[in-house]
Structure 1
Amino acid sequence: MSNKTDSNTDVRGSTALVTGATSGIGRAVAQSLARQGAEVVLHGRDRGRGEALVKEIARQGGSARFVAADLTDAEETLRLAAEAGDVDILVNNAGLFEFAPTAVTDAASFDRQMAINTRAPFLLVGALAPAMARRGRGSIVTIGSSAARSPAPIGAAYGASKAAVELLTRYWGTEFGPSGVRVNAVSPGPVRTEGSAAMLGEHAAAMNRTNARGRAGDPGEIAELVTFLAGPASSYVNGAVLFADGGELSTLPA
């Protein structure tokens, strides 16, 4: 990370809250926003990983602090918003996927996925967007998923939770856009992260056969889109869901 910023993505003077910032896409987003000059509030559950990332960003010339919170708990989510303070950029990245058929997805699993993937963004937007609107500026970016639009035999609860938050993005763009707050989402296809590798195991290579690029995405590629949406270059983009899936195929190649 260097101190050099791009004028199109320069967010110096801004404070950004990134949920799920200690690994995968969230980590890449936090590093990208810090590189472009934002002071980043890192959220996660593991304090050790969070503090390590704070130190890494500082070594690379950025500024960050860490707040731990369990997003399955509504009160913890609201506490996170309070401790983050006045933020200019909110990135709803934290996500939970439990890919299982409907018949073996119990109520607790369904509730966990909805709590983290849908309710937490809803509560954070409700807590933080009004202050952005009063200041007349702000950017909210939510990480969706291609599962919201591409049904599969497993993962219905996860897909529903992501479809809900992508729809909420359009509602929020209408609700807060007139006050200067832009609300958008990035909807990735398969991305190679620690979580996806652990979930798929020996089948991880199958991610490379789901799109026209012939490979899974990299967290840094998603982070670039989030940084674009957070910065001045996207000033006319609001209520949009940007697909980043490598050109999704309708069927898997033979």
Structure 2
Amino acid sequence: MTQGVVAQRLEGRTALVTGSTSNIGRAIAQALAAEGAHVVVSGRDQERGEAVVAGIRADGGKADFVRADLDGTPEASQALAAAAADTLGGRIDVLVNNAGIYRSAPTLADTDAESLDRLYAVNVKAPYFLTQAVAPRMVADGGGAIVNLGSWVARLAAPSGGAYASTKAAMESLTRSWAAELGSQGVRVNAVSPGVVRPPDLDPAVSFSENMTVGTPAGAPGHPDAIGAAVVYLASDDAKFVHGTVLDVDGGRTGVAVVAS
């Protein structure tokens, strides 16, 4: 290696990131591309997706947009897997199951059947069927890495948002199950559990869940780049001995006692 040149950790690899047209997903796509991966940016909004791709290319990275509406049906997930593989030259080395929705039906009494079904369709069934479609490709190609997105609310309960939290608990549980099932076949499966992450496009004057970070070691919401960096680690060979782990990137919210002052 030429002196002074730093090797990119994902050089020559391909990646599919769902829900990557904004916020955390966008940061993940940007981080993977910055480490050399050819990234498929995916989401429902073509204009935003193409803007993310343009930004990655402007920085010297490789990216393409594939539109997808992951509604929880096997067909939608299978179609994305096939289109992404075609775009990436036939293989997907890294899959990031980031796409998800949050329904602000806060309490048990306020959650109707339609909202609950939609949450589970997008947050659990869609990544389940997408992983079902992509994992055999990875095995056939000699291995790969899958990174799921959990949430701090999956393990630290709040008095609202229980339906959403349960979908993230499901993804963290599936992470361990898939690691057990796929690890011996060369596919590593892990998850990142974000804490309160402030959307970078939000008006700085607007408060964003700061109350949930009071008393934590970080003391403030995080930036999406922190999640992107964690995903890069789990996707890379730096984490080759890491299987079935949920990596908390939450400013210490779940790991450190928060004492009210």
Asked if Structure 1 and Structure 2 have the same fold, meaning a TM-score greater than 0.5 normalized by the shorter chain, the answer is: yes
With over 3 angstroms needed to count, the CA separation of the structure-2 counterparts of 1:14 and 1:5, relative to structure 1, is farther
Q: Deviations over 1:8-42 (max 9, x none)?
A: x6111111000110111111110011011110001
Letter in 1 for 2:101: L
Identical pairs, percent: 47
Please list, as runs of the form range in 1=range in 2, the aligned pairs for 1:79-90 lying within 5 A after superposition. Answer: 79-85=79-85, 86-90=91-95
Correspondence for 2:230 among 225, 228, 248: 225
With over 3 angstroms needed to count, the CA separation of the structure-2 counterparts of 1:119 and 1:209, relative to structure 1, is same
Task: Supply the distance in 2 between the matched residues of 1:138 and 1:190 (Cα, whole angstroms).
Answer: 29
> Are residue 178 (structure 1) and residue 202 (structure 2) matched?
no
Task: Supply the distance in 1 between the matched residues of 2:235 and 2:171 (Cα, whole angstroms).
Answer: 18
What residue in structure 1 maps to residue 76 of structure 2?
76
Normalised to the residue count of structure 1, the TM-score between the two structures is 0.91
Please list, as runs of the form range in 1=range in 2, the aligned pairs for 1:201-216 lying within 5 A after superposition. Answer: 202=207, 204-209=209-214, 211-216=216-221
What residue in structure 2 maps to residue 144 of structure 1?
150
What residue in structure 2 maps to residue 40 of structure 1?
39
Correspondence for 1:132 among 138, 141, 145: 138
Q: Deviations over 1:116-159 (max 9, x none)?
A: 21111111110000111122210000110011101111111101
With over 3 angstroms needed to count, the CA separation of the structure-2 counterparts of 1:160 and 1:6, relative to structure 1, is farther
Please list, as runs of the form range in 1=range in 2, the aligned pairs for 1:1-254 lying within 5 A after superposition. Answer: 6-7=6-7, 10-74=9-73, 75-85=75-85, 86-99=91-104, 100-193=106-199, 202=207, 204-209=209-214, 211-248=216-253, 249-251=256-258, 253-254=260-261
| Residues 201-210 or 20-29, more deviating | 201-210
What residue in structure 1 maps to residue 88 of structure 2?
none
Task: Supply the distance in 1 between the matched residues of 2:64 and 2:148 (Cα, whole angstroms).
Answer: 21
3-state SS of the aligned residue for 1:20? coil
Letter in 2 for 1:172: W
Task: Supply the distance in 2 between the matched residues of 1:138 and 1:180 (Cα, whole angstroms).
Answer: 7
Task: Supply the distance in 2 between the matched residues of 1:169 and 1:135 (Cα, whole angstroms).
Answer: 21
CA contact (8 A) 1:23 1:194 kept: no
With over 3 angstroms needed to count, the CA separation of the structure-2 counterparts of 1:16 and 1:6, relative to structure 1, is farther
Letter in 1 for 2:119: Q
Find runs of 4+ consecutive structure 1 residues off by over 6 angstroms. none
| Residues 204-213 or 21-30, more deviating | 204-213
Aligned residues: 247
**Residue segments in structure 2 that go unaligned for 5+ positions in a row:** 86-90
3-state SS of the aligned residue for 2:147? strand
Task: Supply the distance in 2 between the matched residues of 1:59 and 1:234 (Cα, whole angstroms).
Answer: 29
CA contact (8 A) 1:211 1:245 kept: no
Task: Supply the distance in 2 between the matched residues of 1:250 and 1:110 (Cα, whole angstroms).
Answer: 31
Q: Compare the two structures and name the one with the higher helix fraction.
A: 1
Q: Deviations over 1:21-64 (max 9, x none)?
A: 01111111100110111100011111001111111111110111
Task: Supply the distance in 2 between the matched residues of 1:239 and 1:32 (Cα, whole angstroms).
Answer: 22
With over 3 angstroms needed to count, the CA separation of the structure-2 counterparts of 1:64 and 1:210, relative to structure 1, is farther
CA RMSD of aligned residues (A): 2.0
Normalised to the residue count of structure 2, the TM-score between the two structures is 0.89
